[in-house]
Amino acid sequence: MSTIAEVKQLLSAATVDEELITELRTDPRAGVQKLLQSYDKKQAKIRAQQHMLEEHKRLERGLWPHYDAIAGIDEVGRGPLAGPVVTAAVIITPDFDVPVNDSKQLTPHRRAELFGAIISQARAVAIGVRSSEDIDRYNIYHATELAMADAVHNLRVQPDYLLVDAMTVPVDLPQSKLIKGDARSASIGAASIVAKVVRDRLMDMYDQIYPGYDFTDNAGYGTAKHLAGMAAHGITPIHRRSFSPVQKYL
């Protein structure tokens, strides 16, 4: 009979034989049954993630017979007072199995994990970045459109269809504008995570260049510490001068 430690090791393997599971369910030891409960919970979570991913790929599955390269597009950073707006374009394949979700619902650690998996598995990934100067010149909505177009043009695989989160990309390609697209499309969800991770890393860098504004924690949004930083130190080159809270400190 296997020891509790041996059972734990067997259940932690990448694949577990179903006959072993059946045998362990009749094991009278409380320790074994506790390990089985943990195993069952883990498997249920994996199944739920797989089901969610297949639901998120429903839009892509409906389009793949007609379009070879479908890019999901999303943006991060329309609301902050400082920093760029960042967009991402991601083309996935039918076997893509990263359990993506709306980036705002994930912890930074989980986003970083999924970011690496997306980069590894996606057929193509690209970003578009428009600076605070572009935002002031064009307005935030149009600057975001331009950044989305940049992301599309930067893809190493030219897409033939776009799935876009709540916007229209100014490129000559067929596209669908989806409300809450990051919760409805796997490719948009992947783009949401990529854009969020890239922008957060940029704001971490800006926090080192312009200390005193708490950019690492607020990502440029108008938090109390950020407003206090503007009051104490004025504005930086990455502040959006066309945004009214910033104009007070020009």
pLDDT digits (tens, 9 = 90+) for 118-169: 999 999 999 999 999 999 999 999 999 999 999 999 999 999 999 999 999 9
In this structure, whether the domain defined by 59-205 belongs to CATH 3.30.420.10 is answered with yes
Check whether 42 has a pLDDT greater than 80. yes
Q: Which pLDDT belongs to residue 12?
A: 86
What distance in Å separates the CA atoms of residue 98 and residue 210, rounded to the nearest whole number? 35
- CA of residue 28 relative to chain centroid, distance: 44
Which long-range contacts (C-beta less than 8 Å, at least 24 apart) are formed by 153-159? 153/126, 153/128, 154/89, 154/126, 154/127, 154/128, 155/71, 155/89, 155/91, 155/124, 155/125, 155/126, 156/124, 156/126, 157/69, 157/91, 157/123, 157/124, 158/69, 159/69, 159/70, 159/71, 159/89, 159/91
Where exactly are the structural domains of the chain?
A: 4-55, 59-205, 208-247
Q: Which tens digit of pLDDT belongs to each residue from 55-69?
A: 889 999 999 999 999
User: Where residue 213 falls among pLDDT bands split at 50, 70, 90?
Assistant: very high
Residue with tokens 């459109």, as numbered in its chain: 145
176 φψ region: left (φ > 0), alpha (ψ -120 to 50), beta (else): beta
Residue with tokens 């329309």, as numbered in its chain: 78
What distance in Å separates the CA atoms of residue 46 and residue 101, rounded to the nearest whole number? 14
User: Where residue 102 falls among pLDDT bands split at 50, 70, 90?
Assistant: low
Q: Are 194 and 90 in contact (CB under 8 A)?
A: yes
- Kindly state the DSSP code that residue 128 receives in the 8-state scheme: E
pTM of the model: 0.85
